[in-house]
Amino acid sequence: MVPTDAGVEANECMKVFIARNPDEAGSANSTSLQPFDLNHFFGEDGKIYGYKNLKINVWISAISFHAYADISFEETSDESQISSLFFRIAGLNCFPYRYSNVVTDGNVIKHVELQGAAAFLYCRLVPLILLLVEGSTPIDITEHGWEMLLVVKKSAQASSSSNFLVLGFAAVHHFYHYPESTRLRISQILVLPPYQGEGHGLRLLETINSISESENIYDVTIEDPSDYLQYIRSSIDCLRLLTFDPIKPALCSMVSSLKETNLSKRTSSLKMVPPSDLAVTVRQKLKINKKQFLRCWEILIYLNLDAEDRKTLDNFRACIYDCIKGEILGTSTGPNGKRLVQMPSNFDEETCFAVYWTQDGGDADDQTVEQQPEDLKTQEQQLNEVVDSQMEEIVEVAKNVTSRGKDKLSVSCSV
């Protein structure tokens, strides 16, 4: 019987590997999936109790996605706990499968309808999803409209039981959009660790865009994208927009306005937004939703600015500032409108605030909390931090677009 112990963190006693052939299982040649957080599978403190010198190594086949576990310990208070350890990670529902080639450039992308055998494939992928995609949950495959796209390549292993290796996948959901169209939401996208950095995620997104256009989907959205996924998505969409002729007149007009206007003294203002009908055209033709188009619009404008023209760049930043300030504080300056007030907090007193709206009627003095100079200074600092962060994101995507699409940039604004 193991005496009362302090437990051991899952991250300290458990390792997970990808094995591309049977010989790698149990060997040092396997590809480790570390680092990631295993603790959150095991209660609030992330610990496993009841074992002395517990060691767990898990090998997942890169071909079948079956798993083999090597578990060792000196003593245990309850050996039946062993199986329950893995249910926390791997126990779940299942899914379907109809193959049709969508892309055959290098590695093949298979379009998979979620029924039949694909259900079992998805079940085997679920542990990797939970381990590698932060905050993920398995999709409900009993719900109509789920499909999966797989990036595969021909196996080089002569003894392999499968002709293909799965390099990555995306789970997408078709759902109804009133009155008679369908939207496409990307719920999960994952490239397996041995194959990351090879452009497979980019190809998955490009294929989804191609499908959405060919099937006349209303638009494409992504459920809670990570910062990196949003970076790749924006890069792809900006490259598509650079060759989309309908946006060029409005884009060039906006760039000209930034060059001709002086916003430094704040005596004039300029809204850096595209015409509403252009957003509709982009959605109809490229299936880019409005929110994503507005994000790309800022990047496209930045791409057409002269890096040596300080005044124009300052004007650009001023427009970003005004946009963010309007989103957070609103535009009303009277007694009625959106307000921001500093709030006490046990976490970070300088970064916590509340937004509220005052109502029509009544005494304005009863509705409005007067902000002290130090509050206004903090508010200004916080706004500038948000603006700086967004500017950094714009610059990073612009660099990627420039490196990947020099030929497309040559046909943009030359004002």
Active-site amino acid positions: 223
Specify whether the CB–CB gap between 149 and 204 falls below 8 A. Answer: yes
Does the bond joining 179 to the residue before it have cis omega, within 30 degrees of 0? yes
H or E element in which residue 320 lies: helix 310-329
Specify whether the CB–CB gap between 237 and 303 falls below 8 A. Answer: no
How far is it between the farthest Cα atoms of the chain?
A: 82
What DSSP letter does each residue of 163-203 carry, written as one string?
SEEEEEEEEEEEEEETTTEEEEEEEEEEE-GGGTTSSHHHH
Dist. CA 229–CA 226, nearest whole Å: 5
Does the bond joining 3 to the residue before it have cis omega, within 30 degrees of 0? no
How far is the CA of 170 from the CAs of 135, 204, 397, in angstroms?
A: 16, 7, 22
User: Residue 228 is encoded by which pair of tokens?
Assistant: 């990196």
119 by Cβ neighbours in 10 Å (0-12 / 13-18 / 19+) ranks as middle
